[in-house]
Structure 1
Amino acid sequence: MLKIPRPLARAPIMLYRLGLGGLLGRRFVLLEHRGRRSGRIRQVVLETISVAPDVVHVVSGYGEESQWLRNVRADPRVRVTCGWARSRAARAHVLPAAEGVAVLEDYRRRHPLAARMLGPALDLPALAAAEPLPVTVGDRLLVVRLELRRAQS
């Protein structure tokens, strides 16, 4: 599996801090979560696999090893910034494997080229294949639903 160097993975956070997260479009979100040990606010930029007005789906490409995933399991209260919109409070839910696979199938249908490129990078050839995804993919590639709270008016 391709591991992105930490400085490169963290570089987009600065765009959000400068108010320029919209340059990344709606394909990425800034997720603010609380460290499970330190209690400090942590930030990570993640690629979205679906975006709706009140729900965003992201994937933990490194599975259970992802620190952000471990943190949101411990405390699902998060903040999400997507595009040019203001950050919103949200609740994170790790989907069961079957639900996660359904979201991934929808992603493959909408973004076939991205899915074909992502499969080898994550060492998941099934993601790039034409056949339906086996449910076991949902055990390895964890899908997280971010349920956004209504924006205050």
Structure 2
Amino acid sequence: MAHSDTAPHRPRLPAGWRRLALRLPIMLFRAGLGRLFGKRLVLLHHMGRVSGLDHMTVLEAVSYDPTGASWIVASGFGVKADWYQNLRARPKTLIQFGNRYHAVTARFLPPDEGAEIMADYARRRPRTARRLCAFMGFPVDGGEASFREAGRAIPFVRLDAAEGQHRHGRERA
């Protein structure tokens, strides 16, 4: 089942100084300072579906599985976000996590799985989850049911490390 834009409203894309502030983590990753973000952020490389140009977006790792080398990210701007549409067109890509690169394949998760992910995220980071939902226009009363409902509407993507990679992203010989 595909996600649709069912949120009460989608946040407007940032402009001006807000856009610059959101681009700052990209500059830090590129400067080799990705480890400053711990296990919280990933730098996603994605190829433009029309232009064919390489683009970069920093996303929060909603969850990280070090044993399976997979990361779950969410599209706060819905299915119309450029990075999301670009991954739909070309799901094989590259991420930077800390200072290591990983070849990954994007897997688009169904709404019911998104509900579970959001409920778990809200248990681990309740304040951040409330702020995220408010930013996206979801009514959240702090109860698990409201986070699950938001999670059904938020598109989640699991980025699975490519076969043949060690846990730390080095390719096997």
TM-score for both structures, normalised by structure 1: 0.89
**Other-structure match for 2:4:** none
CA-CA distance at 1:65 after TM superposition: 2.0
Asked if 1:80 is matched to 2:80, the reply is no
SS in structure 2 at match of 1:26: coil
Equivalent position to 2:153, from 110, 127, 140 = 140
Q: 2:59 & 2:157 partners in 1: Cα distance?
A: 11
CA contact (8 A) 1:32 1:80 kept: yes
Give the CA RMSD over aligned residues: 1.8
Shifted more, 39-48 versus 68-77: the winner is 39-48
CA contact (8 A) 2:76 2:154 kept: yes
CA contact (8 A) 2:119 2:148 kept: no
Give a deviation string over 1:105-141, Cα, whole Å, max 9, x none.
Answer: 1111111121122221121223x52132476534531
Aligned pair count reads: 151
Equivalent position to 1:24, from 31, 37, 40 = 37
CA contact (8 A) 2:70 2:158 kept: yes
What letter corresponds to residue 92 of structure 1 in structure 2?
A: A
1:19 and 1:78, CA in 2 relative to 1: closer, same or farther beyond 3 A?
same
Which blocks of at least 5 consecutive residues in structure 1 are unaligned?
A: none
CA-CA distance at 1:23 after TM superposition: 1.0
What letter corresponds to residue 33 of structure 1 in structure 2?
A: H
Asked if 1:66 is matched to 2:81, the reply is yes
**Other-structure match for 1:102:** 116
TM-score for both structures, normalised by structure 2: 0.79
SS in structure 2 at match of 1:36: coil
Give a deviation string over 1:30-82, Cα, whole Å, max 9, x none.
Answer: 00011101111110001111011111001000101210000000000111111
Q: 1:30 & 1:105 partners in 2: Cα distance?
A: 24
Q: 2:65 & 2:42 partners in 1: Cα distance?
A: 13
**Other-structure match for 2:104:** 90
1:139 and 1:112, CA in 2 relative to 1: closer, same or farther beyond 3 A?
closer
Asked if 1:119 is matched to 2:129, the reply is no
Same amino acid, percent of matched pairs:
38
CA-CA distance at 1:92 after TM superposition: 0.7
**Other-structure match for 1:10:** 23
Q: 1:134 & 1:109 partners in 2: Cα distance?
A: 10
SS in structure 1 at match of 2:50: coil
**Other-structure match for 1:42:** 55
Asked if 1:57 is matched to 2:72, the reply is yes
CA contact (8 A) 2:62 2:121 kept: yes
